[in-house]
Each structure stands twice: as structure tokens, then as C-alpha cells.
Amino acid sequence: MASFVRVDNNILGLPLTFFNYQIANLVLNYPVVGGIGMIEKVYQFTDTNDFIMEKIIDDEHVNINHIVVAPGGSVPVHVANSNVYQIIVRGKISLRLEEEPVAHYPTGSIVAIPFNTKMDIRNEGSETLEFFVVKAPNPRSMPATKKVQ
């Protein structure tokens, strides 16, 4: 979600020229807040209590997703397609890996899950669950995973 407005013949407040268009194209492909000439990239995520699964960063090195799950909700069962790190920032995650018993991790926990591990993620608590998923390396560079059964 780049935070800029394209109005008439301007992009990022600059006249629409071929050069500026090429720069804006780079900005469009990499969600950046701010103007041209910044070294850092700033990414935005949605502030909500409603269910959301949004990809925040997807570059050659890492994939970062933001997930919010209301009480009683869940994320579809799936297999970790990279090395996964879940950073719990609100609520408590209920996590079942493979056929193991469900484990519960509160706000402030970082849970590391190995590649190709089956995950069942639920919010069994009374508070909204919010967490970030860091996948490294990016799943695009990983082999295929097993099928969910």
C-alpha cells in the first residue's frame, strides 16, 4: 500500500515525465511511504479487529504477512512453506503443529516453526489475535511442501 496520490499529470508531486514515471513504477512495485530519495522503505499494515490476512513484504529475501483473527476464528490449515516465525502482538495464539497437542502462546511470544510443518492456527481466546508471520527465506526459493491431509 503505497501512500501517494496520483493527480492528473503528477506522481509523488513531480511532473509526469518518463524518468519520474520509471521511478514511480519502482515505488508502485515496492510499497513505500515517502518520497524519492529515501534510503528506507516503510511498509503499512491494516489496523483492524476484523479477520485479515495481508502480505506486507514479498521481496527476494523475506516474506512478511500480517494476520488478525477474531475470537473463535481460525486460519485455514496449511503447511509452512518456509522457515516461519510468528510474532504475537495481541491476544493469544492457539497452535497445533502436525498431530501434536494444541499449545497456547501469549502476546510477546515469537514462535519458530520449521519448513514443511502442518499448522492449525486458531484464536480460542476472548481477545482479538494479531500476529506477524516472517518467512525466511522467501517461500519462492523453497522446494514444494507436502500436501495437507
- What digits encode the pLDDT tens for the residues 67-84? 999 999 999 999 999 999
pLDDT band for position 21 (cuts 50, 70, 90): very low
Domain spans in the chain, listed from the N-terminal domain onward = 1-44, 52-141
Which residues, 6 or more positions from 23, have their beta carbon under 8 angstroms from its beta carbon?
12, 36
Identify the CATH class of 52-141.
mainly beta
The pLDDT of 12-19, averaged and rounded, is: 46
Q: What percent of the chain has pLDDT over 90?
A: 68
The pLDDT of 18-35, averaged and rounded, is: 47
Q: From the CB of residue 138, how many other CB atoms can be counted at a distance below 10 Å?
A: 17
11: left (phi over 0), alpha (psi -120 to 50) or beta: beta
